Chains A and B, each alone.
Chain A
Amino acid sequence: MKVEKLVYGIYPKTNDLRLHLSRWEKGLLPDSTINNEIIKEKEILYERYKNLNITYTDPLFNWYDIFRPIVLLVDNMEAGPLTRYKETNTFYRMPIVHEINDITIAPEIFSPLNENPPLPLYVENGTDFNAFLPSPLSFYKMSKVDMKYETFEEKLLNIYKNILKNFKTNSLVIYETLPFQKDEVLNLSQLTDKFSVKLITTGRIYNNNIQGSPHSVVCDDEYENIEISKSISRVPGIKLIDGYNTRMESIDNINRDLEKIGSDEVILSHKEYLDFLPRIIADKKIELMSRVGE
C-alpha cells in the first residue's frame, strides 16, 4: 500500500519567530524584515518536509488565522471581533462579508497588511506546490455574511481561482473545519475541473455533502466516512494524528488502521492543523508520520 503523508494548515512557530513577530507588532521591526524572517523559517520547514518525504502546504506562519489574509485581500470583507475557534481556547477574527469583489492586492508578492503580517500568502509556487485555503462552507458558517450561501460559494471560489492562478499551481488543500450537517452541500466543481483538490473534512460526512470530484477526501476515522471517501475521490484519506493532544500515536496502530481501509493508495493526515500543539510536539508528530508504512 502506498501511503502519502500530508501536513496542512497553520504550523506552530519557533520561539525565535514568535519573538520577531512580537517586535514587529510593537513597531520595532519593519515589514520587510519580518517578511524575510518568515520566509527563512518557512524555507527551513519546507526542507524538513522534503527530507521526511511529506506532502505539505505552506506552514502559513504569516496567517494570524485561517481566514484573515483572505479577508484582508478581498474588497468589502473585513476582520470582525475576536471569536472562539470551535471548542478551543484559540480565537480568530470573525470575517464580516458585505460583498465579495475582486482581490485588490497581489497575493504572491511582498505586501504589508493591517493587523496581519505581510504577504505573500505562500512562499513556494508552481505546479508541484499545494496551496491551502479554507472551505467556503466553513468560511460562511464562521462569518457574518450578507448573502446566500450559494452566491458566497461561487464568488469566493472565483477569488480562490485567481489566487491559484497567481501561484501557478495545479493543486490545493481545502480545509472544512466544521462538521457537515446532513443537508449541506459543498460544491467544488468549479475548482475540481481544473485543480487537484484534497479536501480535509471534519466529523461525520454524508452522501451528497460534497459535489465535484476531489482527488482525495481526507476524513475522520469512521467507517461511513471512509466508504464515502473511497466512492467519491480517487485516493481515500484518513486523519489519524491528533492535533489536539501532545500524546504520541503508535505507529503500529496507525499502520493497522491504514490496512483496514483496503486501498492500494491512501493519504494519511492529522485532525486539525498542528498550530494547537507546542512546536516541539508538532515536529515529533510529523517525524512519526514519516515513519508510517515503512
Chain B
Amino acid sequence: MESKYLISQEIGSFRKPKYLSSVFHRLQDTERLEELAGKSTIETIDLFKQTGLNNIGVGGEMFRWEMYEHQANRIDGITFYGPVRSFDNRYYKKGSITGSMERREPYHLDELKFLLRNNFSNIKIPVTGPYTMMDWSFNEYYKDRYETAMEFAKLLNEDMVELKKEWDKKYPGKKLEIQLDEPATTTHPDEMNIVVDSLNKSVEGIDNVEFTIHVCYSRDYNLLYDVMNDIKIDGLNLEFANRDTLESGIGDDKRPGYNDLKYFSEKNDGKKFMGLGVTDVHIDYVEPVKLIEDRINYALKILPPELIRLNPDCGLRTRSREIGYAKLKNMDIAKQKILKNIQ
C-alpha cells in the first residue's frame, strides 16, 4: 500500500524526445503534433513509473513548449514583437498586452482529456500563475501591474473551472491536483499583495481541488512564507537543492539550502505541506542516494513526515532523459530507505 508520507511528485517539464522537439514548432496546431505529444507522454509516464514516482504530473508537459508562451499564445490581446533574452544566447517570447485580454482557447484541456482517456488519475496539472504571467509580459494596456495580474487571474480561473468540470466527469468526488507555477513570486518584494490577491482570484469558487504553488530560484523565500497563510493553497513545491551543498550530513552547516525550512515551519498555520526540491535540475551530477537521504532527514528534523513531499527543484527538461531518470530514481531509493524507519 502507498505510504501517506513523503509522497513523491514531478514538478512539471521533462526533456522531450527528439522526435517531438525537432518538429514541435513546425507541426504546431496539427493532429500529427497531438499524436506525437501523446506518444511521448505515455513513454514519459512509463519512465516515471519505473522511477517509483507517486504523482506523474502531466507526463512531462509534452503538449507544451514553454510555460509562458503556451498560455500567452492562447490569449487575445497579447502581441508578440519578438524574442527577449533570458541569459547568454537563450531567449523566450515575451508578449505585449496591447488590448483587453480574452481567452481564445483553453490552455490545458486537450492535455487533460488525453490523460483521462488513458485512465491516469495520479496527476497534477501545472498552470502558469497570474503574477508570473503579468511579470513576464510587457503591459501597454492596463492601468498598472495589479490590474494586469488580476486580469490574468480571471482568465486562469475560467480555465481551471473547465479543467475541474472535465475531471469531475471521469472522477466525480475525487480531488484534482493543480500546481500554480509562480517563479516570479518574490522578484518584487513590495508586490506580495499582488501575488496574494491574484492567486486567490485564480482559485476563487473552485472546490475539491488541491492547489499548490511552485516557486524556484527566489532570492528570498521568507517573503512567500510571510504571506502563505493568506493564500488559498494547500502546499508549496519549492527549489532547495540548487542552493545546497553536495556534502553529506544533516547539520545546519551541511544543509544551508534547507535552513529556511525553520522559518516556514514557524510561519505555517500547521496545514500546508512542503514539496521539497531534493535534486538540482541545473547540474548533470546525479546526487547520490545518501545525499538525498540527508536532505530529507534534515527536513524531517523540522517538519513532520506528512507535511513533506519530495520532488526535483524544478522541471527536469533542462537535463537529458537519462539523467532525469537517474535523479528521480535516486530520489525514490532514498525515500524508500527513510520510509522503513518512519513506519
Contact = CB atoms under 8 A, between A and B. Distances in A.
Interface of A: 12-13, 15, 18, 21-22, 25, 64-65, 82, 84, 87-92, 115, 244-247, 275-281
Given A87-B187, A278-B81, A279-B82, A18 B140 contact: no
Interface stretch (B1-9, B89-97, B150-158, B287-295): B89-97
B87 A245 contact: no
B88 A64 contact: yes
A279 B96 CA distance: 14
Interface stretch (B20-28, B108-116, B131-139, B245-253): B131-139
Given A22-B89, A84-B217, A278-B94, A89 B135 contact: yes
A18 B83 contact: yes
Contacts of B92: 89
Contacts of A92: 87
B84 interface: yes
B84 A276 contact: yes
B86 interface: yes
B169 interface: no
A41 to B, nearest CB: 14
30 contacts: A13-B85, A15-B82, A18-B83, A22-B89, A64-B88, A64-B89, A82-B282, A84-B217, A84-B219, A87-B188, A88-B187, A89-B92, A89-B94, A89-B184, A90-B84, A91-B86, A91-B87, A115-B88, A244-B138, A245-B138, A246-B140, A247-B138, A247-B139, A275-B85, A277-B84, A278-B81, A278-B82, A278-B83, A278-B84, A280-B81
Contacts of A88: 187
Contacts of A82: 87, 282
Nearest to A242: B138
Label chain B's interface by main secondary structure: strand
Given A12-B82, A281-B81, 4 more contacts: A64-B89, A82-B282, A278-B82, A281-B82
Nearest to B138: A246
Interface residues of B, number: 24
Contacts of B84: 12, 90, 276-278
A102 B218 CA distance: 35
A65 B89 CA distance: 10
Interface in B66-83: 81-83
A281 B98 CA distance: 14
A90 B86 contact: yes
Contacts of A13: 85
A277 B81 CA distance: 9
- 9 closest cross-chain pairs (CB), A and B: A278-B82, A91-B87, A278-B81, A247-B140, A246-B138, A246-B96, A21-B89, A64-B88, A87-B187
B81 A246 contact: yes
Contacts of B83: 15, 18, 278
Nearest to B135: A89
Contacts of B81: 246, 278, 280-281
A82, A246, A280 — most chain B CB neighbours (10 Å): A246
A25 B89 CA distance: 8
Contacts of B91: 18
A247 B217 CA distance: 29
Contacts of B217: 84
B89 A245 contact: no
A280 B94 CA distance: 13
Contacts of A246: 81, 96, 138, 140
B87 A90 contact: yes
Contacts of B85: 12-13, 90, 275-276
A15, A278, A279 — most chain B CB neighbours (10 Å): A278
Nearest to B242: A81
A179 to B, nearest CB: 14
Contacts of B282: 82
Contacts of B96: 246-247
Nearest to B93: A278
Contacts of A87: 187-188
Nearest to A248: B140
B277 to A, nearest CB: 16
Contacts of A115: 88
Contacts of B136: 89
A115 B81 CA distance: 28
Given A21-B89, A276-B84, A278-B94, A245 B140 contact: yes
Nearest to B83: A278
Contacts of A84: 187, 217, 219
Nearest to A17: B89
A219 to B, nearest CB: 22
Given A84-B187, A278-B82, A65 B87 contact: yes
A160 B138 CA distance: 35
Nearest to A281: B81
Contacts of A22: 89
Nearest to A14: B82
B183 to A, nearest CB: 8
Contacts of B82: 12, 15, 278-281
Contacts of A65: 87
